[in-house]
Amino acid sequence: MTRNTRRPEPGRAPAPVRSRRAYFDCRFGQLHVRTAFPTTGGFDEQVTLVCLHGEADSGRHFARFMAQIARDRSAYAPDLPGAGESDPGPRRDVAESAAAVLDLATELRLRQIDLLGLGHGAAAALVLAAERPELVRRLVLLAVPPIEEMPVARQPALVLQRRLGSASAVPWVKRFVPAGRVEELADEPADPLEEGPHGFAERVRAFLDERR
C-alpha cells in the first residue's frame, strides 16, 4: 500500500473528519466501535490507528482526540470486551482485549495498524504487539500499568508517563519496549485526550509519521 504523507497547504483548513459508530463480530460476541476518518477519503494515506481505553472506561474517551488525529488516517476506538456497549468475554482481562482487537483488524482486513493504549489498553497493546509483530507497526502507550509478567514488544514505541522522577519508571518500561522512547507528560493537561486533544494529536502524529 502506498502511503501519502501530504499535509494541508498553509492557510488551508484541515480536511473535515467524519465519525460514526458500528458493531463488529469478535470471538466474544459483538464489539462496539467508534471510528473517524477524513471526508476526503484520505484514510488510506497513513496506517490505521486503533485506540484502546483504560479499565472502567470505554472508547468514548477518545472521541475528541479522534476528531483531531483522523485528519489524515482512519482511527478506531473499540469498547473492549465487557466495557461500554460491547459484549463481555468470560474473564475481562488483557489477553481478551488483545484478542478482540486482533479480531477487529481481521474483520476490517487491515494488514498493519498502529496502537494507542491507555492503562489496561496499553497492556493489551503490548500483548498484541508481541504476539503479532507483523500486524502492529508502532505503539503509543500512556500510563502503562505495573504488571510484572508482560511480553516484550520490539516495535518503535512512544511511552508517555507522569512523574518520570521515579527512579524505577524508565527501566521498568524499557524491559517491555526495548525500542521505546520514554517521555514525560509534563506540560500536558490532566487528561490530554479530552482537555488538550489538538496538541496531543500533533504529538502522536509526529511520532507515528517518523521515518525509521
17: which 3 cell numbers? 473528519
- Enter the pTM of the model: 0.88
Question: pLDDT tens-digit profile of 90-126?
Answer: 998 999 999 999 999 999 999 999 999 999 999 999 9
For residues 77 and 80, give the distance between their C-alpha atoms in angstroms, rounded to a whole number. 9
Question: pLDDT tens-digit profile of 32-62?
Answer: 999 999 887 654 568 999 999 999 999 999 9
* Helix-strand-coil split of the chain, %, nearest 5: 30, 25, 45
Helices 120-131 + 94-107 axis angle, to 10: 60
For residues 75 and 92, give the distance between their C-alpha atoms in angstroms, rounded to a whole number. 23
φ/ψ of residue 174, rounded to 5: -65, -20
So where are the chain's domains?
A: 17-208
Q: Which CATH architecture has domain 17-208?
A: 3-Layer(aba) Sandwich (3.40)
For 10-14, 15-19, 178-182, which range has the lowest pLDDT when averaged over its residues?
10-14
Which pLDDT value is given to residue 169?
Answer: 57
